[in-house]
Structure 1
Amino acid sequence: MLCTIAPSSRAARLSLLLDSGLGTVEEVHHVRRPSQQLLDGGPVARISLPVEELLESPRARRHALSASEPEGDIGSWSPEDGSYVAACVAVKDRSDDLREWIDYHRALGVGHFYVFETDTAEASDWALEDLIQEGVVDYYYLPHVTPTTVPMMQIRIYRLCLQHTRHRHAWMAFVDVDEFLVPTNATQGLKGVLEEYADVPGLVVNWRLMGSGGHEGRPAEGTLAAYQSCTPVSFHDNLHVKSIVNTRLVANTSTDPHHFEYLGGATAFTTARDPVDGPAAPAVHYEKLALFHYALKSREEYELKMLRGSAMGNYKGMDFFDRVDAAATEQCPQAFEACRRFGLDWCAGKAGA
């Protein structure tokens, strides 16, 4: 097995790494856990996903997923159920941002989170300890899983989530930690929106790329308070979408993290019910939902992001920063306003822009 956080003791976790040949004593001793309870047997993941599958041939895993039924029976979920909506995310060196992202989406209506921390020297579960104990977060620390050791890493993590947890939820969102789902109708939460689209295989949400707001270094405020400048609707990159899949009707991942394959060759839809069969929509639609994409943040944070790379092994240069930031001439306070409505501390100390 590659590395899962399910083993019942720190010694077992260290042994797992060493026996697999993926680490040395020096490499794994610095891995910290947030409390003695977690060190000595507290569950970090409610279910133990077979993360060793990440090392198998992508073609073999893709075939296995297409040809097999999901584990367990897919239940009949109601929006009142805490497991109605889940999110699956791969992260790297994002402990400063991860808690705000989870707190916000939990308030929005996401009931469970599968967090896979990859390719990083320091675990971030210290920031999630209470949510792990509460059973809201399943956390997997995979320091030796990288886009180099596991090609198409992000897609394969998504596939792992889909295969082994889809029977637990009605919907599953696949968005990144720098992407926030934002209801454009202040009176409607995420569950209410998804109820209206129970008949579609998947709901795709357009990006709204956000600017740096003139920040050179990381600001003291959270993401939603600090960054409210945005690109216009017509900005070309906003055609890109991310997916919230209907677990009854989704068939598989695709070749990119933006869209999925669906049973019977069906397609996903925008909230305007326009079909989308690819990583981008033919037009931008923000009816009911938008996906605010904080791809830049401050110049300092963006430079660190370039060094970190993406979960797909993609790298963007400063030309992307300059192009998006120059286009971010509008103000989009909707995510910040939603955060304040939710009463989250991240947005309590600053008036809207």
Structure 2
Amino acid sequence: MIKEVYDDIINLTLSIKSSIKKERNLLINNNLSINIAVDNIQKIITKFKQYLEEYSCLKNNPIIDILNKYNDDLLHIINEDNKDNVLIVLDNITGSLLDKVQENIIVNNDILSLTLIVKNEAFYIKEWIEFHRMIGVTHFYIYDNESSDDLYKKLSSYISQGIVTYTYWPTKGVYSTRLEAQLAAYNDSLYKYKYDTKYMGFIDVDEFIVPVNRKNIIEVIDDIFYRYENCGGIGINWRVYGSSYNEKKIDGLVVENYKYRAYDNYDLNKHIKTICNPRVTIAFNIEPHSAIYREPFYCVSENGKRIESCFFKNSTCNKIRINHYYIKSREDCIEKCRRKNGKQINEEYIQEFFTRIDKDCNKVYDPIMEKYIDELKKRCDLI
């Protein structure tokens, strides 16, 4: 849980303690009967529990069991009709409540986390994680869509270190389409972890968020959210990369092997992906590029222009962009198409698709990722 949300809960806990003490004092002064005082306190505790469950996503936290026990203790003691015993229980509650909340709700320092749904991308996942760690991402919510390439094994060290939260997320027998599964995964992450990170991004494994003029992406995101009062999310435009004339799948870094991209005005570059404040974001509803926000919040470009859909045509990408390594080599592209569509797609279509995209996406040599390569190789054990 991020500190600002934790602080709100601590302040609410102190308020709950104060309310219980007021009921206790009324009981001591005979201004309330035991039954009424206990009933009032149980309602206070129940309301606090519901807040933690529904609005702070702490349904499975031990603090919920502790609050239930407080109410059970009150229920048992009320039958004794003994004011002194009731006061002992109340003193135990007010004396331990704050400590129990502090013991069971963990504060973390996650500023930016990324949510990813992925299938059979173990070959590329380490580079994707390590690059984003280099620019300031601290946590990853990874949903495994029925991978068969030892993805979990590849992620195991990140999982044990608390860097990755892993969820197995099948399509078969649960969702009718891969898109439906993707949207459900995004919304699951949004709901479960919205209090655990200040910002949450939703991208694919072939997409790399790039701070154009800074080393740390957090500085860019903080600045945009600070400048534009009703910013609920940032729409980040693609810069789509081609094959860089690679026919075969090659070892090494994606960001080193693929340096040619499309012109800025290329049609696919108008697509955005989203980094949002998850606490003001309602859901991803129709497509995975843009979200729905609660009023008065909305999505903005890097320059504060309101974005109403999954497209934004006029981005300069002077501050932030997404390098989208859409097809990579011809061999990669064929594998990707087969993985997504199985037997429903023919070889002729795959070749036509690759050629059509690639002819427009090798136009500009772009060395923007050069500054990351040496460090990224070390992190990926390629040196």
TM exceeding 0.5: yes
Residue-by-residue CA offset, 1:80-116 (whole Å, 9 max, x unaligned): x631111110000100011110111011111110111
Q: Which residue of 1 aligns with 2:158?
A: 131
> TM-score w.r.t. structure 2 length?
0.65
Deviation at 1:138, TM superposition (A): 1.0
Structure 1 or 2, whichever has the larger Rg, is: 2
- The match for 2:315 among 279, 284, 287 is 284
Residue-by-residue CA offset, 1:56-81 (whole Å, 9 max, x unaligned): xxxxxxxxxxxx645259xxxxxxx6
Equivalent positions of 1:154-193 (< 5 A) are 154-185=182-213, 187-193=214-220
Using CA pairs under 8 Å that are at least 6 residues apart, name the structure with larger relative contact order, 1 or 2: 1
Deviation at 1:127, TM superposition (A): 1.2
2 CA distance for matches of 1:243 and 1:289? 12
> How much is the aligned-residue C-alpha RMSD, in angstroms?
2.6
Length, aligned pairs only: 272
State whether residues 178 and 295 of structure 1, in contact with CA within 8 Å, keep that contact through their aligned partners in structure 2.
yes
Summarize the Cα distance change of 1:259–1:70 in structure 2 as closer, same or farther, 3 Å threshold.
farther
1 CA distance for matches of 2:211 and 2:125? 20
State whether residues 130 and 380 of structure 2, in contact with CA within 8 Å, keep that contact through their aligned partners in structure 1.
no
- The match for 2:352 among 316, 319, 328 is 319
Deviation at 1:324, TM superposition (A): 2.4
1 CA distance for matches of 2:147 and 2:339? 9
Equivalent positions of 1:249-268 (< 5 A) are 249-264=280-295, 266-268=297-299
2 CA distance for matches of 1:260 and 1:143? 22
State whether residues 237 and 312 of structure 2, in contact with CA within 8 Å, keep that contact through their aligned partners in structure 1.
yes
> TM-score w.r.t. structure 1 length?
0.71
State whether residues 170 and 181 of structure 2, in contact with CA within 8 Å, keep that contact through their aligned partners in structure 1.
no
Q: Which residue of 2 aligns with 1:237?
A: 268
Deviation at 1:148, TM superposition (A): 3.4
Equivalent positions of 1:61-210 (< 5 A) are 69=55, 71-72=57-58, 82-143=109-170, 145=172, 148=176, 152-185=180-213, 187-198=214-225, 199=229, 200-210=231-241
State whether residues 121 and 143 of structure 1, in contact with CA within 8 Å, keep that contact through their aligned partners in structure 2.
no
Are 1:219 and 2:250 matched, yes or no?
A: yes
**What is the DSSP-based 3-state SS (H/G/I as helix, E as strand, rest coil) of the residue aligned with 2:369?**
helix
2 CA distance for matches of 1:190 and 1:72? 29
- Aligned AA (1:289): I
Q: Which residue of 2 aligns with 1:6?
A: none
2 CA distance for matches of 1:150 and 1:220? 28
Deviation at 1:233, TM superposition (A): 0.3
2 CA distance for matches of 1:120 and 1:304? 14
Q: Which residue of 2 aligns with 1:337?
A: 371
1 CA distance for matches of 2:56 and 2:350? 40
State whether residues 209 and 324 of structure 1, in contact with CA within 8 Å, keep that contact through their aligned partners in structure 2.
no
Comparing 270-279 with 329-338, greater Cα deviation is found at 329-338
Identity of aligned residues (%): 24
Residue-by-residue CA offset, 1:264-286 (whole Å, 9 max, x unaligned): 16320111111111111031330
In structure 2, stretches of 5+ residues that fail to align are: 1-53, 60-107
Greater percentage in helix = 2
